[in-house]
Amino acid sequence: MTYNILIVGLKGQDAGKTTLALALLAYLREKGFNACAFKPRAGNNVWYDFDVVHDALSQGRLYGKDATSLKAASAFSAADDPLLEECINPIHRLWMEPPRISSMSQIPGFIIDRVTLWTKDGARNLVVENEALPAMYRCSDTLLAQLRANASEIYHVRDLNTLNKLTEEYYDLAIELAYKKVVAQHDCVVIESYSDIALPWNGLNILDAVIGIKPGRISAFDPQKYLAAVQIAASTYSQEELPTARIIELLKPLKEVNVTPCRSEKLSQGLQELLPRLMQV
Protein backbone atom coordinates (compact mmCIF):
# COMPACT_ATOMS: atom_id res chain seq x y z
CA MET A 1 0.00 0.00 0.00
CA THR A 2 1.43 3.36 -1.05
CA TYR A 3 1.44 6.20 1.48
CA ASN A 4 -0.09 9.34 -0.10
CA ILE A 5 0.78 12.79 1.21
CA LEU A 6 -1.01 15.77 -0.34
CA ILE A 7 0.52 19.26 -0.25
CA VAL A 8 -1.84 22.14 -1.02
CA GLY A 9 -1.41 25.90 -1.18
CA LEU A 10 -3.39 28.07 1.21
CA LYS A 11 -2.91 31.03 -1.13
CA GLY A 12 -2.97 31.30 -4.90
CA GLN A 13 0.64 32.00 -5.85
CA ASP A 14 4.01 31.53 -4.18
CA ALA A 15 2.55 29.59 -1.26
CA GLY A 16 5.68 27.44 -0.97
CA LYS A 17 4.28 24.07 -2.07
CA THR A 18 7.27 22.92 -4.10
CA THR A 19 9.76 24.07 -1.48
CA LEU A 20 7.85 22.09 1.15
CA ALA A 21 7.59 19.07 -1.18
CA LEU A 22 11.36 19.07 -1.68
CA ALA A 23 11.95 19.25 2.07
CA LEU A 24 9.43 16.48 2.70
CA LEU A 25 11.05 14.21 0.10
CA ALA A 26 14.43 14.69 1.77
CA TYR A 27 12.89 13.99 5.19
CA LEU A 28 11.20 10.80 3.94
CA ARG A 29 14.35 9.52 2.30
CA GLU A 30 16.22 10.02 5.56
CA LYS A 31 13.52 7.89 7.20
CA GLY A 32 14.16 5.12 4.68
CA PHE A 33 11.12 5.63 2.44
CA ASN A 34 11.30 5.10 -1.29
CA ALA A 35 9.48 8.37 -1.92
CA CYS A 36 8.62 10.10 -5.18
CA ALA A 37 7.03 13.41 -6.04
CA PHE A 38 3.93 13.72 -8.19
CA LYS A 39 2.68 17.04 -9.53
CA PRO A 40 -0.31 16.23 -11.77
CA ARG A 41 -0.68 19.70 -13.27
CA ALA A 42 1.84 22.48 -13.64
CA GLY A 43 2.53 25.46 -15.83
CA ASN A 44 5.10 28.03 -16.82
CA ASN A 45 4.75 31.54 -18.14
CA VAL A 46 6.63 31.97 -21.39
CA TRP A 47 7.84 35.43 -20.34
CA TYR A 48 9.00 34.72 -16.80
CA ASP A 49 10.37 31.20 -17.33
CA PHE A 50 11.74 31.40 -20.85
CA ASP A 51 15.07 29.69 -20.10
CA VAL A 52 13.51 26.44 -18.86
CA VAL A 53 10.76 26.64 -21.51
CA HIS A 54 13.34 27.08 -24.28
CA ASP A 55 15.51 24.22 -23.01
CA ALA A 56 12.55 21.83 -22.79
CA LEU A 57 11.06 22.78 -26.17
CA SER A 58 14.47 22.42 -27.79
CA GLN A 59 14.29 18.75 -26.76
CA GLY A 60 10.78 18.40 -28.15
CA ARG A 61 9.41 18.33 -24.61
CA LEU A 62 7.50 20.67 -22.29
CA TYR A 63 8.11 20.72 -18.54
CA GLY A 64 9.07 23.22 -15.86
CA LYS A 65 11.71 23.79 -13.23
CA ASP A 66 9.43 22.39 -10.50
CA ALA A 67 9.23 19.00 -12.22
CA THR A 68 13.00 18.97 -12.69
CA SER A 69 13.61 19.76 -9.02
CA LEU A 70 11.02 17.24 -7.82
CA LYS A 71 12.50 14.53 -10.01
CA ALA A 72 15.99 15.21 -8.64
CA ALA A 73 14.69 14.98 -5.04
CA SER A 74 12.78 11.72 -5.59
CA ALA A 75 14.09 8.22 -4.89
CA PHE A 76 14.45 5.81 -7.77
CA SER A 77 16.09 2.83 -6.10
CA ALA A 78 13.18 0.59 -7.11
CA ALA A 79 13.54 1.34 -10.81
CA ASP A 80 16.28 0.78 -13.34
CA ASP A 81 15.28 3.95 -15.17
CA PRO A 82 14.33 7.14 -13.31
CA LEU A 83 10.89 8.47 -14.12
CA LEU A 84 10.82 11.31 -16.60
CA GLU A 85 9.46 14.76 -15.82
CA GLU A 86 6.46 13.86 -18.00
CA CYS A 87 5.54 11.12 -15.51
CA ILE A 88 6.07 13.18 -12.37
CA ASN A 89 4.12 15.97 -14.11
CA PRO A 90 1.79 14.45 -16.77
CA ILE A 91 0.07 17.73 -17.70
CA HIS A 92 2.02 20.90 -18.34
CA ARG A 93 0.59 24.19 -19.60
CA LEU A 94 2.52 27.02 -21.21
CA TRP A 95 0.90 30.33 -20.36
CA MET A 96 0.95 33.63 -22.17
CA GLU A 97 1.19 37.04 -20.53
CA PRO A 98 -1.26 38.12 -19.29
CA PRO A 99 -2.98 34.74 -18.52
CA ARG A 100 -6.54 35.98 -18.93
CA ILE A 101 -9.66 34.42 -20.41
CA SER A 102 -10.65 35.53 -23.91
CA SER A 103 -14.00 37.30 -23.91
CA MET A 104 -14.74 35.83 -27.34
CA SER A 105 -13.77 32.16 -26.96
CA GLN A 106 -13.90 31.91 -23.13
CA ILE A 107 -10.69 29.86 -23.32
CA PRO A 108 -8.03 30.53 -20.64
CA GLY A 109 -5.04 32.42 -21.99
CA PHE A 110 -2.64 29.52 -22.50
CA ILE A 111 -0.43 28.86 -25.50
CA ILE A 112 -0.13 25.08 -25.46
CA ASP A 113 -0.72 22.03 -23.24
CA ARG A 114 1.41 18.90 -23.17
CA VAL A 115 -0.64 15.91 -21.96
CA THR A 116 1.23 12.62 -21.54
CA LEU A 117 -0.59 9.28 -21.48
CA TRP A 118 1.57 6.47 -20.10
CA THR A 119 0.55 3.24 -21.82
CA LYS A 120 2.15 -0.22 -21.85
CA ASP A 121 3.93 0.86 -25.04
CA GLY A 122 5.40 3.98 -23.43
CA ALA A 123 4.57 7.67 -23.49
CA ARG A 124 1.91 9.03 -25.81
CA ASN A 125 2.25 12.81 -25.90
CA LEU A 126 -0.73 14.93 -26.88
CA VAL A 127 -0.34 18.58 -27.76
CA VAL A 128 -3.30 20.92 -27.35
CA GLU A 129 -2.82 24.30 -29.04
CA ASN A 130 -4.93 27.37 -28.31
CA GLU A 131 -5.90 28.66 -31.75
CA ALA A 132 -8.10 31.35 -30.19
CA LEU A 133 -5.03 33.10 -28.82
CA PRO A 134 -4.15 36.32 -30.66
CA ALA A 135 -1.11 35.87 -32.87
CA MET A 136 0.90 38.45 -30.93
CA TYR A 137 0.83 36.19 -27.84
CA ARG A 138 1.80 32.90 -29.48
CA CYS A 139 5.21 31.28 -29.52
CA SER A 140 7.10 31.11 -32.78
CA ASP A 141 6.58 28.02 -34.91
CA THR A 142 10.34 27.43 -34.74
CA LEU A 143 10.26 27.16 -30.95
CA LEU A 144 7.33 24.71 -31.00
CA ALA A 145 8.45 22.70 -34.03
CA GLN A 146 10.20 19.87 -32.17
CA LEU A 147 7.38 19.49 -29.64
CA ARG A 148 4.91 19.15 -32.49
CA ALA A 149 7.18 16.69 -34.28
CA ASN A 150 7.35 14.47 -31.19
CA ALA A 151 3.61 14.59 -30.51
CA SER A 152 1.40 11.55 -31.00
CA GLU A 153 -1.58 13.81 -31.71
CA ILE A 154 -2.04 17.56 -32.05
CA TYR A 155 -5.39 19.18 -31.24
CA HIS A 156 -6.27 22.76 -32.21
CA VAL A 157 -8.91 24.38 -29.99
CA ARG A 158 -10.81 27.52 -30.90
CA ASP A 159 -13.66 27.40 -28.39
CA LEU A 160 -14.28 26.37 -24.80
CA ASN A 161 -16.54 23.46 -25.74
CA THR A 162 -13.73 21.75 -27.69
CA LEU A 163 -11.25 22.33 -24.88
CA ASN A 164 -13.68 20.91 -22.31
CA LYS A 165 -14.23 17.77 -24.40
CA LEU A 166 -10.49 17.16 -24.65
CA THR A 167 -10.08 17.81 -20.94
CA GLU A 168 -12.81 15.32 -20.06
CA GLU A 169 -11.42 12.67 -22.40
CA TYR A 170 -7.70 12.89 -21.71
CA TYR A 171 -6.59 15.04 -18.78
CA ASP A 172 -7.73 13.02 -15.75
CA LEU A 173 -6.85 9.83 -17.64
CA ALA A 174 -3.29 11.11 -18.13
CA ILE A 175 -3.01 11.81 -14.41
CA GLU A 176 -4.36 8.40 -13.42
CA LEU A 177 -1.99 6.55 -15.75
CA ALA A 178 1.05 8.51 -14.56
CA TYR A 179 0.05 8.04 -10.91
CA LYS A 180 -0.19 4.26 -11.40
CA LYS A 181 3.30 4.26 -12.87
CA VAL A 182 4.65 6.21 -9.89
CA VAL A 183 3.00 4.07 -7.19
CA ALA A 184 4.16 0.88 -8.90
CA GLN A 185 7.75 1.86 -8.07
CA HIS A 186 7.45 3.71 -4.75
CA ASP A 187 6.06 3.18 -1.27
CA CYS A 188 5.39 6.87 -0.62
CA VAL A 189 4.13 9.60 -2.98
CA VAL A 190 4.26 13.32 -2.23
CA ILE A 191 1.44 14.80 -4.32
CA GLU A 192 1.70 18.54 -4.96
CA SER A 193 -1.44 20.36 -6.02
CA TYR A 194 -1.36 23.50 -8.16
CA SER A 195 -2.16 27.09 -7.24
CA ASP A 196 -4.64 26.98 -4.32
CA ILE A 197 -6.68 24.06 -5.66
CA ALA A 198 -7.96 21.67 -3.00
CA LEU A 199 -7.56 18.45 -5.05
CA PRO A 200 -5.29 18.22 -8.10
CA TRP A 201 -7.54 15.65 -9.81
CA ASN A 202 -10.95 14.12 -9.28
CA GLY A 203 -9.70 10.56 -8.82
CA LEU A 204 -7.64 11.32 -5.73
CA ASN A 205 -9.69 9.67 -2.98
CA ILE A 206 -7.12 7.98 -0.73
CA LEU A 207 -4.94 10.21 1.43
CA ASP A 208 -2.79 9.44 4.47
CA ALA A 209 -1.74 13.02 5.24
CA VAL A 210 -2.64 16.53 4.08
CA ILE A 211 -0.37 19.53 4.59
CA GLY A 212 -1.29 23.09 3.64
CA ILE A 213 1.20 25.91 3.34
CA LYS A 214 1.27 29.67 2.98
CA PRO A 215 3.99 32.19 3.83
CA GLY A 216 4.58 32.03 7.58
CA ARG A 217 2.52 28.93 8.41
CA ILE A 218 2.18 25.22 7.70
CA SER A 219 -0.97 23.33 8.70
CA ALA A 220 -1.67 19.59 8.92
CA PHE A 221 -5.24 18.37 8.35
CA ASP A 222 -6.98 15.10 9.08
CA PRO A 223 -6.98 13.42 5.62
CA GLN A 224 -10.42 11.79 5.93
CA LYS A 225 -12.04 14.97 7.21
CA TYR A 226 -10.29 16.91 4.46
CA LEU A 227 -11.73 14.65 1.75
CA ALA A 228 -15.17 14.86 3.36
CA ALA A 229 -14.92 18.66 3.41
CA VAL A 230 -14.01 18.62 -0.29
CA GLN A 231 -17.17 16.66 -1.09
CA ILE A 232 -19.34 19.00 0.97
CA ALA A 233 -17.82 22.17 -0.46
CA ALA A 234 -17.93 20.87 -4.05
CA SER A 235 -21.66 20.21 -3.79
CA THR A 236 -22.34 23.93 -3.30
CA TYR A 237 -19.54 25.41 -5.44
CA SER A 238 -20.36 26.37 -9.01
CA GLN A 239 -16.81 26.42 -10.41
CA GLU A 240 -14.91 23.33 -11.53
CA GLU A 241 -11.77 23.94 -9.45
CA LEU A 242 -12.38 24.11 -5.71
CA PRO A 243 -10.02 26.44 -3.81
CA THR A 244 -8.57 25.49 -0.44
CA ALA A 245 -10.20 28.58 1.10
CA ARG A 246 -13.55 26.81 0.84
CA ILE A 247 -12.14 23.75 2.62
CA ILE A 248 -10.49 25.41 5.57
CA GLU A 249 -13.80 27.12 6.32
CA LEU A 250 -15.14 23.66 7.17
CA LEU A 251 -12.40 22.11 9.29
CA LYS A 252 -9.67 23.05 11.69
CA PRO A 253 -6.08 21.89 11.30
CA LEU A 254 -4.79 19.11 13.50
CA LYS A 255 -1.51 20.93 13.99
CA GLU A 256 0.10 24.17 12.88
CA VAL A 257 3.62 25.52 12.94
CA ASN A 258 4.89 28.98 12.18
CA VAL A 259 7.68 29.47 9.65
CA THR A 260 9.99 32.44 9.89
CA PRO A 261 11.81 33.91 6.87
CA CYS A 262 15.31 32.58 6.34
CA ARG A 263 18.01 32.43 3.70
CA SER A 264 17.22 30.12 0.79
CA GLU A 265 20.16 27.78 1.47
CA LYS A 266 18.81 27.12 4.98
CA LEU A 267 15.12 26.90 4.11
CA SER A 268 14.93 23.20 3.21
CA GLN A 269 16.73 22.07 6.36
CA GLY A 270 14.56 24.37 8.47
CA LEU A 271 11.39 22.89 7.00
CA GLN A 272 12.68 19.35 7.52
CA GLU A 273 13.18 20.11 11.20
CA LEU A 274 9.54 21.25 11.49
CA LEU A 275 8.03 18.19 9.79
CA PRO A 276 8.11 15.86 12.83
CA ARG A 277 5.84 18.35 14.59
CA LEU A 278 3.28 18.06 11.80
CA MET A 279 3.19 14.39 10.92
CA GLN A 280 4.18 11.02 12.28
CA VAL A 281 6.09 9.16 9.58
State pTM to two decimals: 0.92
**Contacts with 147 (C-beta within 8 Å, 6 or more apart), sequence order:** 57, 60, 61, 62, 112, 114, 127
Q: Domain 1-33+187-281, what fold?
A: Rossmann fold (3.40.50)
Q: What is the torsional sign of CA 146, 18, 248, 6?
A: positive
Alpha-carbon separation of residue 89 from 35, 100, 182 (angstroms): 15, 23, 11
Q: How many CA atoms lie within 13 A of 151 on its CB side?
A: 20
pLDDT tens digit sequence for 29-84: 988 889 999 999 999 888 888 898 899 999 999 999 899 999 999 976 544 567 88
Q: For the chain, give percent helix, strand, coil, nearest 5.
A: 35, 25, 40
Q: For residue 57, which phi and psi values (nearest 5 degrees)?
A: -65, -30
User: pLDDT 10s digit of each residue in the chain, 281 long?
Assistant: 789 999 999 987 778 899 999 999 999 998 888 999 999 999 988 888 889 889 999 999 999 989 999 999 997 654 456 788 999 999 999 998 766 666 666 788 899 999 999 998 889 999 999 998 887 777 888 889 999 999 999 999 999 999 999 999 999 999 999 999 999 989 999 999 998 999 999 889 999 999 999 999 999 999 999 999 999 998 888 777 899 999 988 999 999 999 888 887 778 888 888 888 888 76
List every span in the chain annotated with CATH 3.40.50.
Answer: 1-33+187-281
Per-residue pLDDT, 78: 46
Per-residue pLDDT, 103: 61
Q: What is the torsional sign of CA 236, 241, 245, 251?
A: positive
Determine if residue 32 is left, alpha or beta; phi over 0 gives left, psi from -120 to 50 gives alpha, anything else beta: left
Strand pairing report for 217-221 and 110-119:
unpaired
